[in-house]
Amino acid sequence: MLMPPADRPAVLRYEPNGFRAVSPGKFVLCAVSAERIPLEELRYWSVERQEAYATPELATRRLLCPA
């Protein structure tokens, strides 16, 4: 079953100064909390890990306690 684009997560390539869409979608999932992050609100990510984070606190938690 195909999902409409609004319900499909984007696949992004995270770069030092931004990100590029590899596959279209409206959101990504936070690597720590699994919270949906709308692309227009995405501000925190790791280039090295290729992960997105919902808040700076969650990004810091991931950096200090890698899983």
Weakest mean pLDDT among 2-11, 36-45, 47-56:
2-11
* pLDDT at 4 exceeding the cut of 70: no
Residue 20, CA distances (Å) to 24, 29, 38, 65, 66 in order: 10, 15, 14, 27, 25
Residues 17-50 have pLDDT tens digits of: 999 999 999 999 999 999 999 999 999 999 999 9
How much is the pLDDT for 66? Answer: 73
Instruction: Give pTM, 2 decimals.
Output: 0.87
* pLDDT at 14 exceeding the cut of 80: yes
The C-alpha atoms of residue 38 and residue 54 are separated, in whole angstroms, by 9
